[in-house]
């Protein structure tokens, strides 16, 4: 928290209200002026800060906005009236009255004229005749006209119009007005003059009764507090002060003394008896001393975080202490010397500058339903491919290709220009030390080249004689050479050409124009120019643009030479390409983003041989950003990428801001007498071509001046932002000099450069907060001399209170304690969201504001890392929730992020309520949030990186810039900050929840050589020749364990009961997840070394081993790793039955899966549901394949199987696809229908032929899964004869599960047979046993106490699968649950209907929130496992579901 009693809110009650109003009032007009206005009402006199007291001087002019000490007169005003005749038959009557002292003067105006468009055009006059002052309190509907008058509509009634005005300003002497019929544009005047009505004049006071300003402030505060501490607009704030003042004046007029007022307002219930005035009453204690005394009291109290009420009390106590000193006889000078010591006064002065009026120190965030900001806007074709239409090459393009192949030396440059309907090729090569320039065109007209050589881009130097081709004519500074018909190298082409050779390597290029039949041909109005310098080497290692909008990127590359001329050219070309990019979808827009990003990071040339006005750049930016705004509006699924493009391009100028860049630098030079040196060089650069570098240069100058002209600071700012001396010298108008200013120029330069910075940012910066706010709130800047002015109107329709939020943000934007700032930024973004989804002309300004708020969150969080160093977990969690909210607000598809955010809210609530599970639950939310970040990074990589690589290769971008492209995009957003915060919290949660650094899935002690791989999937079919410990960064859950692998260690989080986990335990392979990145990094450093792993149930101890330490038995074991005996299968034959009921299940007909489910039926307790089942037995597939109707399919499969035997594994997919072409024999359909109906199952065909076709396709998919890659390679490893593998199909009705579970009746991690281990997921069980990321809810339960399950981990799986009432067809092969080979999960179970993937919200899940419900469900799962284990007499691996609280078991097998 801030170490400032003053900073937090109002302590010093006596600083003038006018000062407060100046702060607030300046905000909507100009954010830039906020800081300047903070000190408008303070003066420094000598070494003391004095707060200005504005006392009313009767009879003297006072601006109406300044609010003085309130003065009550005891002399009532007299009533005045006047009558006027308008246009002969219209009567105007004006009445003026003041009802009582201290009240407003009321002016009633009545006109015998009825019009709905009648306006009073008016103002009041104080002490300067003819000068109108505009009162702050105005009738409803009043508008300010050109800041010179007010216009108030009359109220129409029958044939007359009425208006009542109340004037509160006691200095107002008269009211002047005209009347306007706006519809007819008709003015009513008083004989050609203004109507002038005198107001009541107050008599000179024989007695003044004052209400001190500090009491007005307290009364205003109390009113504000009663109204719920609202965010007031400046107008509301003024009204509140006036109302507070009026309330006190009325009390005084009724006889209440100021002392009684003070006693009441400062909560002193003892009325003060007014006797003889005391010393303290006759001597006024200066407010500055009260402020200092209050500060001293606060320091002595330990700088507590006072509430606003406490601060007011403290201030009054300080006043009492000083009054007591006066009573004892001390003088004010003595008190001053006593309390003003050292830095106290300076510190108090600093506190006053940060004091906030009518502001809560933290904004009150609205309670929102976070689901309201969920976006499910996903582009379906993320990796769509765009088929290129073969491009027809022009004559010159064909010629250029042939000529390049002909040239023996390297190509330094190649350009093809348009010459009306023809082309011009310029090819520059280098051979034997000479530069060769070859020009060719397909134009039929006679052409002459008017050319020269240059050492800089703008020179025209006469070529030396040995460089002039035959027929050339030397002129003064150039030469002319005619083109000749044909080409010596390629006579078949109908072109005219010429060749130039230059052997002087000091020449850098050739400028030229072309003369054709007396007409000059130029390059878009400029000279042609070709450089001799060698282009960056184009890389050819990024393929053919796969995963990109290749046609668009090729077009961008073609136009890059034109785009290099200036930002105007680049932005206009981008605008021309937007339609094509949009049509190409997300990948098209990704191409534009990559191009603009390469530009922004200076990988592309910004300006080359082209002088362009800033206003032209601004206009081009406006055109591009307008088009992007249209895409944002019409295609919400692309908003995230459009935001990124906009922030890269910059805002562009509205009005004539672009031209002001040129104009204002001249004014700065003139006003501050700095017309030479660096400022003149910068001026020339700005006039030639302004760029985002100018924002950095301006900031460097400001930093240099603020550092007392330290030139090192100037260079540091430049270098920190990527601008070196070499870059300054590379501009077409180079900056050679360093700044060198005089001390007397400091104040003016800081003022003018500060204003100039806003102009530069308005054009170039897309994420600058101050200029973005000003652009939305509106501002006006008058022109000076020859300069144009600019006026930006506020964006209409912004939510009420939004300006106050932005003001809060700007007031706190540099605070060290960033938490209140983050809350303000996010509240502003939330308030802005509805406006961002509406179409309006100024939408892009709101987008830029949102981008700026987003960016400020990131910088604030990074600044706040230090305050989190010793922070409690709940504070880190709160920061995580704020940053996560920010990321969600910037994302197109944010449903997962929103549910993560709701998870953090629940975790915080659990933590604050001391729930014993808070850390365990928070760890699951952390894991899910990490998964969400990983998915987002992968999406960016998929969308952006291929385009960056392909376009980067075409444009010759530095390889390092291409390689880190997507990484830098991610780092620039909130995801990087969020990841850092998660890394800080993770070890805290693991320690609190006693999780340790490991989760051991298969605890096998082993020894092996360390190998590091990215994905287990990539090496699952590999065979290692020596025992290998794999450190795999990614393990999804369905992979095979490679031969020769003795351990798999991963930071990934596969479920303990996932297929890969089961296979690891079956194969006696050590398998564990490591949560500590430091431990994992240390293991990776041991790559190639021999390690021993000793796992326990919760840890893995590892140590390095020397090979000589092994015994012979161990060595033999290492050599024999991976060797297995072949597994034989009995061939299954067709029994003559296409379908059987569960009573007919035998080992010859079906696999163990079907037999086990039939065995359970009728044997388990009635509370355990067993789904009804039928089966398609072994041999049916082969029999169907042999049917005549499927002869062609059978022949095709036999051909493919031969290829498979020969080692062509690519045919596996084709075999599966071919199986889907099988036709169903009528007998199969009839038998299956009969068995299903007789068993009480629904028959799909009853719902129509289409439903049966869905079922038949699902059956074929189960049969085809025999050729799954994973299954095929797994059977090969154990030498199982794949030909003998038969597939039955178990048919069951799908239970549309609320939850699914898997039970192991012996804890697989510890081997403890007294303990049941189970995992639970929402929806269907496929997310548990399949390759779905995240963890399930896991628990253990002692068999001796089945009613006390112990949670081991809460769920982090982001999605669940749900399905309608349907049928599922389960694989049931003869190659599963064999001795030494489980084979579980290798083959597919296929529901007839597609599952719906639902993003899960655990924060509203009964299993998470309701402890009794959770205990009931988990206990029933444990009891079911224990009962089924008892039935079989052996450990079981059980799968089941929960529906409406009832438990169903869908299969069981022996636990391996």
Cα-Cα-Cα-Cα dihedral sign, residues 467, 472, 475, 477: negative
Q: What are phi and psi of 69, to 5 degrees?
A: -65, 135
d(CA 754, CA 761): 11
d(CA 157, CA 134): 27
The full DSSP string for 371-405 is GGG--B---S-TT---PPPPPPPPHHHHHHHHHHH
Give me the torsion for CA of 1412, 1413, 1416, 1419, rounded to 10°. Answer: -100
Cα-Cα-Cα-Cα dihedral sign, residues 673, 675, 677, 682: positive
How far, rounded to the nearest angstrom, does the alpha carbon of residue 616 sit from its chain's CA centroid? 31
Q: What are phi and psi of 1423, to 5 degrees?
A: -65, -40
Pick from 1268, 1221, 1260: which is nearest to 1392 by CA?
1260
Terminal C-alpha separation, the chain = 57
Q: What is the 3-state secondary structure (H, E, C) of 1092-1136?
A: EEEECCCCEEEEECCHHHCCHHHHHHHHCCCCCCCCCCCCCCCCC
d(CA 882, CA 853): 13
Pick from 442, 445, 437: which is nearest to 393 by CA?
442
Length of the chain (residues): 1456
d(CA 1280, CA 1276): 6
CB 937 within 8 A of CB 1434: no
Q: Please, what is the angle between helix 567-583 and helix 550-563, to 10°?
A: 170
Pick from 897, 834, 890, 854: which is nearest to 371 by CA?
897
Candidates 20, 569, 1059, 1304; catalytic one? 1059
3-state secondary structure of 1012: strand
DSSP annotation of 1037: S
d(CA 1343, CA 1318): 13
CB atoms within 10 A of CB 1220: 13
d(CA 783, CA 660): 9
**C-alpha to C-alpha distances, 223 to 247, 259, 307, nearest whole angstrom:** 11, 20, 17
Which residues, at least 6 apart from 657, have a Cβ–Cβ distance to it below 8 Å?
Answer: 618, 759, 762, 763, 790
**Residue for token pair 């303000």:** 824
Pick from 1308, 1269, 1233, 1252: which is nearest to 1072 by CA?
1308
Which residues, at least 6 apart from 360, have a Cβ–Cβ distance to it below 8 Å?
Answer: 9, 229
Q: Radius of gyration of the chain from Cα atoms? A: 42
Tokens of 1273: 């390679």
d(CA 377, CA 814): 35
20 given a catalytic annotation: no
How far, rounded to the nearest angstrom, does the alpha carbon of residue 421 sit from its chain's CA centroid? 47
Pick from 786, 615, 790: which is nearest to 687 by CA?
615
CB 174 within 8 A of CB 196: yes
Q: Show which residues are catalytic.
A: 1059
């Amino acid at each position: 928290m801030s170490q400032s009693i003053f900073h937090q809110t109002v302590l010093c009650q006596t600083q003038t209200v006018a000062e407060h109003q100046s702060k607030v009032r300046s905000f909507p007009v100009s954010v830039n002026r906020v800081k300047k206005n903070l000190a408008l009402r303070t003066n420094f006199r000598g070494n003391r800060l004095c707060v200005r007291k504005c006392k009313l001087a009767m009879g003297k002019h006072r601006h109406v906005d300044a609010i003085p000490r309130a003065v009550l007169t005891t002399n009532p005003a007299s009533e005045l009236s006047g009558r006027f005749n308008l246009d002969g038959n219209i009567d105007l009557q004006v009445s003026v009255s003041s009802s009582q002292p201290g009240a407003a003067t009321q002016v009633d105006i009545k006109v015998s004229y009825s019009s709905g468009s009648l306006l009073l055009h008016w103002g009041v006059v104080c002490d300067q005749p003819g000068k109108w002052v505009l009162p702050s309190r105005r009738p409803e509907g009043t508008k300010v006209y050109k800041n010179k008058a007010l216009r108030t509509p009359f109220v129409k009634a029958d044939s007359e119009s009425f208006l009542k005005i109340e004037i509160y300003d006691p200095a107002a002497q008269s009211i002047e007005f005209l009347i306007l019929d706006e519809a007819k544009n008709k003015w009513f005047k008083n004989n050609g003059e203004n109507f002038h009505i005198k107001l009541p004049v107050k008599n000179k006071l024989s007695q003044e009764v004052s209400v001190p300003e500090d009491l007005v402030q307290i009364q205003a505060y109390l009113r504000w507090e009663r109204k719920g501490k609202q965010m007031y607009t400046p107008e509301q704030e003024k009204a509140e002060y006036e109302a507070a003042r009026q309330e006190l004046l009325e009390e005084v007029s009724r006889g209440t003394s100021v002392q009684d007022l003070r006693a009441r307002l400062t909560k002193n219930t003892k009325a003060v008896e007014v006797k003889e005035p005391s010393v303290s009453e006759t001597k006024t204690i200066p407010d500055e001393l009260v402020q200092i005394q209050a500060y001293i009291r606060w320091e002595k109290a330990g700088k507590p975080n006072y509430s606003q009420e406490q601060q007011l009390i403290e201030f009054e106590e300080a006043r009492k202490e000083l009054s007591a000193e006066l009573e004892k006889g001390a003088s004010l000078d003595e008190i001053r010397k006593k309390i003003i010591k050292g830095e106290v006064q300076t510190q108090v002065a600093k506190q006053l500058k940060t004091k906030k009026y009518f502001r809560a120190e933290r904004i009150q965030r609205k309670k929102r339903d976070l689901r309201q900001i969920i976006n499910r806007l996903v582009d379906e074709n993320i990796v769509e491919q765009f088929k290129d239409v073969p491009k027809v090459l022009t004559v010159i393009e064909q010629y250029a290709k042939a000529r390049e192949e002909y040239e023996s030396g390297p190509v330094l440059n190649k350009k093809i220009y348009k010459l009306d309907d023809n082309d011009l090729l310029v090819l520059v090569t280098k051979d034997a030390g000479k530069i060769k320039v070859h020009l060719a065109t397909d134009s039929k007209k006679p052409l002459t080249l008017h050319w020269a050589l240059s050492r800089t881009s703008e020179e025209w130097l006469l070529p030396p004689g040995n460089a002039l081709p035959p027929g050339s004519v030397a002129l003064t500074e150039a030469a002319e050479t005619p083109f000749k018909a044909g080409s010596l190298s390629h006579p078949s082409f109908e072109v005219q050409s010429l060749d130039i050779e230059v052997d002087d390597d000091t020449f850098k290029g050739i400028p030229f124009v072309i003369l054709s039949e007396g007409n000059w041909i130029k390059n878009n109005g400029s000279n042609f120019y070709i450089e001799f310098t060698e282009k960056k080497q184009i890389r050819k290692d990024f393929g053919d643009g796969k995963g990109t909008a290749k046609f668009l990127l090729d077009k961008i590359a073609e136009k890059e030479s034109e785009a290099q001329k200036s930002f105007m050219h680049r932005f206009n070309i981008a605008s021309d390409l937007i339609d094509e990019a949009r049509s190409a979808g997300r990948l098209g827009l990704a191409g534009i983003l990559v191009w603009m990003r390469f530009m922004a990071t200076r990988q592309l040339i910004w300006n080359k041989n082209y002088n362009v006005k800033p206003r032209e750049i601004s206009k081009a930016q406006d055109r591009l950003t307008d088009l992007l705004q249209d895409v944002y509006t019409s295609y919400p699924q692309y908003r995230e990428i459009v935001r990124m493009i906009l922030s890269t391009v910059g805002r562009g100028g509205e009005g004539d801001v672009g031209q002001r860049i040129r104009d204002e630098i001249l004014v700065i030079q003139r006003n501050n007498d700095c017309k030479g040196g660096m400022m003149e060089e910068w001026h020339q650069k700005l006039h030639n071509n302004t760029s985002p570098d100018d924002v950095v240069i301006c900031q460097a100058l400001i930093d240099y001046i603020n550092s007392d002209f330290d030139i090192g600071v100037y260079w540091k700012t430049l270098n920190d932002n990527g601008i070196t001396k070499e870059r300054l010298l590379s501009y077409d108008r180079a900056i050679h000099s360093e700044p060198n200013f005089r001390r007397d120029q400091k104040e003016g330069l800081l003022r003018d450069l500060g204003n100039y910075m806003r102009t530069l940012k308005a054009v170039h910066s897309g994420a600058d907060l101050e200029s973005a706010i000003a652009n939305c709130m509106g501002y006006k800047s008058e022109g000076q001399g020859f300069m144009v002015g600019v006026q930006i109107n506020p964006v209409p329709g912004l939510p009420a209170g939004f300006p106050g939020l932005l003001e809060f943000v700007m007031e706190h934007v540099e605070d060290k304690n960033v938490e209140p700032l983050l809350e303000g930024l996010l509240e502003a973004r939330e308030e802005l969201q509805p406006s961002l989804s509406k179409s309006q002309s100024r939408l892009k300004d709101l987008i830029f504001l949102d981008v700026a708020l987003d960016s400020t969150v990131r910088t604030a969080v990074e600044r706040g890392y230090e305050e989190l160093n010793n922070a409690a977990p709940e504070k880190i969690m709160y920061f995580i929730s704020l940053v996560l909210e920010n990321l969600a607000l910037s994302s197109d598809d944010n449903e997962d992020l929103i549910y993560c955010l709701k998870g953090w809210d629940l975790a915080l609530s659990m933590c604050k309520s001391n729930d014993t599970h808070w850390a365990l639950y928070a760890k699951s939310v952390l894991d899910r949030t990490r998964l969400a970040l990983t998915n987002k990074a992968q999406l960016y990589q998929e969308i952006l990186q291929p385009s960056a690589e392909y376009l980067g290769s075409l444009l010759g971008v530095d390889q390092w810039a291409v390689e880190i492209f997507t990484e830098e995009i991610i780092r620039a957003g909130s995801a990087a900050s969020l990841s850092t915060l998660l890394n800080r919290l993770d070890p805290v949660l693991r320690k609190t929840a006693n999780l340790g650094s490991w989760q051991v899935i298969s605890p096998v002690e082993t020894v092996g050589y360390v190998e590091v791989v990215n994905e287990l999937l990539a090496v699952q079919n590999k065979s290692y020749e020596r025992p290998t410990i794999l450190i795999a960064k990614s393990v999804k859950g369905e992979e095979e364990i490679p031969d020769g692998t003795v351990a798999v260690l991963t930071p990934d989080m596969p479920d303990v009961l996932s297929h890969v986990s089961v296979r690891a335990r079956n194969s006696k392979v050590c398998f564990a997840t490591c949560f500590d990145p430091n431990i994992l990094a240390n293991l990776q450093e041991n790559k190639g070394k021999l390690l021993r792993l000793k796992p326990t149930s919760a840890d893995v101890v590892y140590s390095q081993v020397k090979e000589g330490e092994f015994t012979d038995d161990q060595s033999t074991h290492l050599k024999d790793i991976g060797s297995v005996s072949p597994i034989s299968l009995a061939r299954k034959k067709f029994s003559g039955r296409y379908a059987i009921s569960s009573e007919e299940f035998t080992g010859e007909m079906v696999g163990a899966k079907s037999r086990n489910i039939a065995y359970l039926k009728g044997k388990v307790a009635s509370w355990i549901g067993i789904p009804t089942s039928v089966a398609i037995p072994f041999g049916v597939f082969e029999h169907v394949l042999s049917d005549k109707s499927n002869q062609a399919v059978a022949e095709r499969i036999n051909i493919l199987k031969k290829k498979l035997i020969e080692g062509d594994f690519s045919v596996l997919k084709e075999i599966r696809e071919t199986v889907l072409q099988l036709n169903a024999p009528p007998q199969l359909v009839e038998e299956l229908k009969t068995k299903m109906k007789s068993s009480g199952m629904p028959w799909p065909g009853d719902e129509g032929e289409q439903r049966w076709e869905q079922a038949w396709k699902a059956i074929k998919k189960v049969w085809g899964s025999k050729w799954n890659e994973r299954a095929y390679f797994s059977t090969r490893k154990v030498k199982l004869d794949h030909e003998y593998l038969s597939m039955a199909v178990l048919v069951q009705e799908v239970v549309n599960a609320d939850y699914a579970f898997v039970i192991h009746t012996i804890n697989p991690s510890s081997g403890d047979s007294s303990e049941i281990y189970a995992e639970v997921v929402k929806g269907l069980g496929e997310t548990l046993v399949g390759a779905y990321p995240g963890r399930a809810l896991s628990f253990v339960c002692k068999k001796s106490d089945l009613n006390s399950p112990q949670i081991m981990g809460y769920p982090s799986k982001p999605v669940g699968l749900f399905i309608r009432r349907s049928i599922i067809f389960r694989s049931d092969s003869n190659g599963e649950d064999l001795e030494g080979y489980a084979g579980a999960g290798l083959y597919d179970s296929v529901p007839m209907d597609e599952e719906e993937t639902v993003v899960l919200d655990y924060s509203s899940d009964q299993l998470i929130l309701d402890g009794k419900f959770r205990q009931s469900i988990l206990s029933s799962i444990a009891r079911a496992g224990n009962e089924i284990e008892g039935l079989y007499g052996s450990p079981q691996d059980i799968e089941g579901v929960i529906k409406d609280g009832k438990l169903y078991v869908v299969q069981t097998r022996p636990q391996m």
